[in-house]
Amino acid sequence: MRIAIAAALAATLCAVGAPAQAQVEVGVINSLSGNFAAFGERYRTGLQVALDEINASGGIKGQQLTLTIQDDRSEAKSALAAAESFASKGVPLVIGSYASSITGPLAQFLTRQKVPMIVLGSADDSITKPGSPWVFRAKHNSTIVGKAYFDYFDHLKTTKKDVPLETVAMLYGNGAWPTSLAKEGKRLASERGYKVVGDQSYDQGVTDFRPILNRFRGANPDILYIVSYAEDGVAITRQMREVGLNAKVIAIDTSAALPSFVQQVGKSADYVATAVSWSQDVKYPGAQELYERLKAKAGGEPSFYEAEGYLALMVAADALRRADPKSRDSVREALAATDITTPVTTVNFKSADGFQGQNPIRSLILQIQDGKHVTVFPDDLAAKQAQHPTPEWSTR
């Protein structure tokens, strides 16, 4: 950790000390302290892996690429101060941040300052819908992820016709992401003929979900659609087993995608499905090799967050190579014309369905099988078949 601080300090000092000679500087606004620091750490790992790769292969038109990372303390007002300093410093583009409560104001400000921005972590629809000509997002949003889940449910329904999937119960935190993904889920459920038999949200507390899970047990849903952050998802899974809430499909967004989920839940984690933007076993060229590099840099098991950090900087570098880094207009045009393939996903910012600057990334559905995350959907990217239906707790 001390090394990391020293490195960050050194990075800041270098960026301040050395005048812009033969290097291209990209501004990053990331949550390194405060409530979202866990995510900020992961994003930074991914950014650094991308930075090493870019500079090893000649940088930006022969010039070194440098990152200036500013901490936003997980709050909007600090992020906006950082954005103002980047805007006045003349960086060609800014990458940031994780929470939508920070990224929303950032997008508004950078649009007015005419600074191209690549979204780092926020997945809220509202960032790119209606969006702005200056804001680009290579990762997913709630519309894409919601659709991925329901495509998966439909897929299970058609492949195993003897297992009826008709009812769904939803449980989600009251944060921006869980709420918007639940809203999208409810819309899709009614559109595709699923009956919503449970709809409950919760505030951050002491992770006791027994009352809600007991309520759901009375409704006996076929599908559990759960959107929760890290520890909440772990507690929900443990308590689901405890109260004996059975379902044929259990989907837990965000929480179940983290490597620590399997460690903390143990055997009960099996059969749980989760949507991600990237996974090590996805059938994209270079995915496995990227996994090794992310793992080496992180010093632990990487997740899709690292991959998203990597993706953001790769998109930036690609645009900078095709543009004049001194002109933000030219960088913006280059970003809009992006058409690349990375080990994380393909990227193009073709606007559709009211979105602007949004990459129509394909979300993957992972299922935990024998304690490992396995890509099971969509079919052409899957490593294995989904295990379906989920057996009852009493038989496991």
Partner 1 sequence: MAGLDIFLQNIANGVLMGGVYALIGIGLTLVFGVMRTINFAHGDFVVLGMYSAVLFNALLGWDPYLSLVLAMPIGFFAGVIVERFILSRVIDAPPESALLATLGISLIIGNAILLTFGGEPRSVQVSYASSTFSIAGVNLSMVLLLAGIATVIMIAALYALLNRTEVGRAIRGTAENRLGAELVGIDTRRIHSIVFGLGVMLAVMAGVTLIPLLFATPTNTGAVFTLKAFVVTVLGGLGNVGAAIAGGILLGVVEVLGASYFMSEYREAYGLIAFLLILLFRPEGLFGRTVKRV
Partner 2 sequence: MTKHLIGLGVLLAVGVAYPAIFPNNLTIAISVLLFAGWATSWDLLGGWNGQVSLGHASFVGLGAYFVAIGQSQFGLAPWWTMAMAAAVAAVLAYFWGWLTFSLRGPYFSLSTIAVAEILRLVAINEEWLTGGATGVFIATLPEPFGVDLFSRTAQFYMALAFATVVIATVIVISRARFGYQLRAVREDEDSAMAAGIDPTATKLKAFMLSAALTSIGGGIYGIVLAFIEPHVIFALLLSVQIALTAIIGGRGTIWGPAVGALVLIGAGEMFRTTFAEANMLIYGILILVVVLFVPRGIVGELARRHIRRLYAKRAQG
Q: Between residues 118 and 258, which has the closer beta carbon with respect to partner 1? A: 258
Instruction: Report the C-alpha dihedral over residues 351, 353, 356, 360, rounded to 10 degrees.
Output: -60
Question: Quick one: 162 or 203, whose CB is closer to partner 2?
Answer: 203
144 three-state secondary structure: helix
Distance of closest approach, residue 190 Cβ to partner 1, in angstroms = 21
Q: Report which residue type is found at 35.
A: N
Measured at the CA of 154, the angle between CA 152 and CA 160, to 5 degrees, comes to 100
* Window 65-94: contact mask with partner 2 (x via CB under 8 A): -----xx-x-xxxx-xx-xxx-xx------
Contact by Cβ (8 Å): 283, 381: yes
> Measured from the CB of residue 134, what is the shortest distance to partner 2 in angstroms?
14
Kindly tell me which residue out of 64, 101, 346, 351 binds partner 2, with binding defined by CB under 8 A. 101
Percent helix, strand, coil in the chain, to 5, is 45, 20, 35
Residues 78-137 that bind partner 1 (CB under 8 A): none
361 DSSP assignment? P
Decide: is 36 part of the binding site for partner 1 (CB under 8 A).
Answer: yes
Of the two residues 101 and 351, which places its CB atom closer to partner 1 in the complex?
Answer: 101
Asked if residue 20 binds partner 2 (CB under 8 A), the reply is no
* Binding at 214: pick from partner 1, partner 2, none (beta carbon under 5-8 Å per type): partner 1
Is the Cβ–Cβ distance between 257 and 303 less than 8 Å? yes
> Which residue from 7, 13, 18, 35 is in contact with partner 1, where contact means CB under 8 A?
35
Please give the full DSSP string across 70-129, using - where no structure is assigned: EE-TTSHHHHHHHHHHHHHHT-S-EEE-SSHHHHHHHHHHHHHHT--EEESS---GGGTT
User: What residues pair up with 196 in beta bridges, in sequence order?
Assistant: 168
**Which residue, 100 or 280, is less far from partner 2 as judged by CB?**
100
Site for partner 1 in 238-267 (CB under 8 A): 238-239, 241-244, 258, 260, 263-266
Sign of CA dihedral 316, 322, 325, 331: negative
Select from 251, 344, 331 the least CA-distant residue to 27: 331
Q: Is 159 in the site for partner 2 (CB under 8 A)?
A: no
Chain residues in the site for partner 1 (CB under 8 A): 1, 5, 33-41, 174, 200-208, 210-212, 214-215, 217-218, 230-231, 234-235, 238-239, 241-244, 258, 260, 263-266, 268
Residues near partner 2, by CB under 8 A? 1, 4-5, 8-9, 12, 32-34, 37, 70-71, 73, 75-78, 80-81, 83-85, 87-88, 100-101, 104-105, 107-109, 112, 124, 126, 174-176, 178-180, 183, 201, 203
